Amino acid sequence: MKRRKPPRLGAAPVLGVASALGLLLVALGDDAARSASAGGEPLFWLGLILIYGPIAFRLLSTSAPRGERIGLVVLLSISLFLVKVLYSPTGFVFYDELGWWRATHDLLSTGHFTSSNPLVITTPGFPGLDLLTAPLVALGRLSIFHAGTLVIGVVRTAFMLALFLFLERATRSSRAAGIGVAVYAANPSFLYFNGQFAYESVALLIGVTLLLATIRWTESRQRLGVRSLVATMALLSATLAVTHHMTSYAIFALLVGWAVFAELDAPPQKDGARSLLYTPALPAIMLGIAASAWFAFVAGGVTINELSGQLSGAITSAFDLVLGGSGPKKPFEAGGQANGWLARLIAVVSVLTLLAAIPLGVRKVWRGARKDPLQRVLAILAILYLATLGLRLTANGTEASQRASEFVFLGLAFLVAIVIRDLRNPAKAGGRAGLGVGLTALLTVVFLGGFIVGEPPQGRQPGPFLVAAERRSVSAEGLAAAHFAGAELPPGSRILVDHANAMLMGSYGGLDPVTRKIFGVPISKVFVDPTFDPRVRRLIRRGHIDYIVVDRRLSQTPPIGGYYFTAEEPGAFSRTQPISAAALGKFAQAPGLTKIYSNGAIAIYDTSGLRR
């Protein structure tokens, strides 16, 4: 039997050593950051540059063979994923990760996916991730953390490889595909948000694989077999529909746009309906049916609850900004933390570079000799980048912008790739080298700028405890209290708690945190008011609240992330003073409350005494 030819890996193995050294620098930088020592930041950024720069340089070159480009894409994916792993190598600290830990734990405990999750309300409606992770935990005898990390690492790497193949077809060039993947890694969500143990990471792989199958469907279905491709697209559509809402809808919209352009560009056919099915229309129909059915019969409620808040907040903020109802959010500032001048400069250059590529790339697509419907829909997707930038200027649009970037960057990656692909190569070797170095530097700035745009200063590296800063608020005291709750308190007990401790109590603690409102009254009122008055006591009784968790450290500083409990709390993003220590201390003297647990920073109050 003939052997395959070995792929030509070129410089990829050697660049693997450079990437690994970059990871070592990141680890050293994070170590210094954890102890608030000097030098943490420079080491961290140097590590990122050492990982990304050499790979980008080689992907930009005209001489690298295809096998090497694929190897570099895999290397880039694994290396950047490990940067995220180095942030928290021993346990989950991101909010969504802890929510998915809870969902997976509940599935393993009960054998079914549960009807509610207090941390990530959509997990019952989109169980793809926990259904994938739980078998690894059960069969491989791994912890949820290790199984989840492995799942996301594997899925992300496969996604980047799929993205390479997709862009290769869209650009008709493996060089452009590699460049496109490097640009995609610059999206603000890539390094941490999409590297976390959450459903979107899995959905992106399935979504892009569906796009690859669609390419085969439209271009070479006879070779693969019509039935095989139809079955493939059906299976992928069904899986995508049960894994993530936004990715399903975004891929559906992309397929519809692609089908529309394909129909507009196609010559008239005798059998119009049959020819339409041989376009992206068929997978669009499959995905549309799957996503609609899933929404209608299973996930509609949780989807509306999750997305309506984000979308309405973004739309309202946008109108307020345009009509003058509110000023723009200060760019490069979050929760009182501001970026330095160099970070701002890098972020601005990154954004301007991407903006400049849009008209250049759109012009190439629309004026090109070859009318390619896939290229046109990707160009339109890239134009939406402007809208996501606008959302970042609004008070409540940042999250919508962050989530949209994963899809918008599919189009941006394509446009930047074809702009660079078509740059005229200088005749002299020195000129070519200079162009290569210049483009590498520019791409690296785009990458670093994307990370700066996507992550607030306090979230880029681990470090000492910060008040109300999500991942930076995971502390030994919080973990101890959560593990105590998980071991000793009745599972599912309802608790009033701040957002940061809710992550831990709702996951490892197995409890049901209430952080927003009870009967229309914001939870923050219970904590901020100086007295524990009868009205509050009635709310706690009526709301069947079993415990109140009080973190004394909330009185140390205003909330770094902008809020203590929820983004909608009174004073969110505008507090200049922390909750008073006296307000947090009132629970110790409140009639009907007894402190059943204390570790100094965190106390848990039992409310049994309120029920007489």
- Interaction residues for other proteins, span 235-264 (CB under 8 A): 235-236, 238-239, 242-243
Q: Does 493 contact other proteins by CB under 8 A?
A: no
Q: Does 556 contact other proteins by CB under 8 A?
A: no
Q: How far is the CB of 27 from other proteins (least distance, A)?
A: 4
SS3 of 208-234? HHHHHHHHHHHHCHHHHCHHHHHHHHH
**Part of the chain binding other proteins (CB under 8 A), chosen from 270-278, 551-559, 571-579, 601-609:** 601-609
**610 and 559 Cβ atoms separated by less than 8 Å:** no
Q: Give the span between the Cα atoms of 219 and 225, in whole angstroms.
A: 12
Q: How far is the CB of 171 from other proteins (least distance, A)?
A: 16
Site map (CB under 8 A) of other proteins, residues 331-360, x = contact: ------------------------------
SS3 of 314-361? HHHHHHHHHHCCCCCCCCCEECCEECCHHHHHHHHHHHHHHHHHHHHH
Pick one of 43, 182, 183, 206: the residue that binds other proteins (CB under 8 A).
Answer: 206
Residue 376 makes CB contacts below 8 A (sequence gap 6+) with 257, 261, 365, 366
- Which 148-187 positions form the footprint of other proteins (CB under 8 A)? 150-151, 154-155, 158, 161-162, 164-165
Q: Does 488 contact other proteins by CB under 8 A?
A: yes
Size of the site for other proteins (CB under 8 A): 97
Residue 429: count other Cβ atoms within 10 Å of its Cβ.
Answer: 8
29 vs 578, beta carbon nearer other proteins:
29
Q: How far is the CB of 483 from other proteins (least distance, A)?
A: 10
Pick one of 42, 65, 135, 426: the residue that binds other proteins (CB under 8 A).
Answer: 135
Structure tokens at 519: 């009967």
Q: Does 289 contact other proteins by CB under 8 A?
A: no
Structure tokens at 407: 């899809």
**Part of the chain binding other proteins (CB under 8 A), chosen from 6-14, 183-191, 523-531, 561-569:** 6-14
Pick one of 13, 39, 42, 530: the residue that binds other proteins (CB under 8 A).
Answer: 13
Q: Does 141 contact other proteins by CB under 8 A?
A: yes
Q: Give the span between the Cα atoms of 247 and 189, in whole angstroms.
A: 14
Q: Give the span between the Cα atoms of 413 and 357, in whole angstroms.
A: 10
Residue 180 makes CB contacts below 8 A (sequence gap 6+) with 163, 164, 167, 171, 413, 414, 416, 417
Q: Give the span between the Cα atoms of 374 and 385, in whole angstroms.
A: 18
- Which 34-53 positions form the footprint of other proteins (CB under 8 A)? 34-35
Q: How far is the CB of 15 from other proteins (least distance, A)?
A: 9
Q: How far is the CB of 79 from other proteins (least distance, A)?
A: 8
With tokens 């509610």, the residue in question is: 116
Q: How far is the CB of 369 from other proteins (least distance, A)?
A: 27
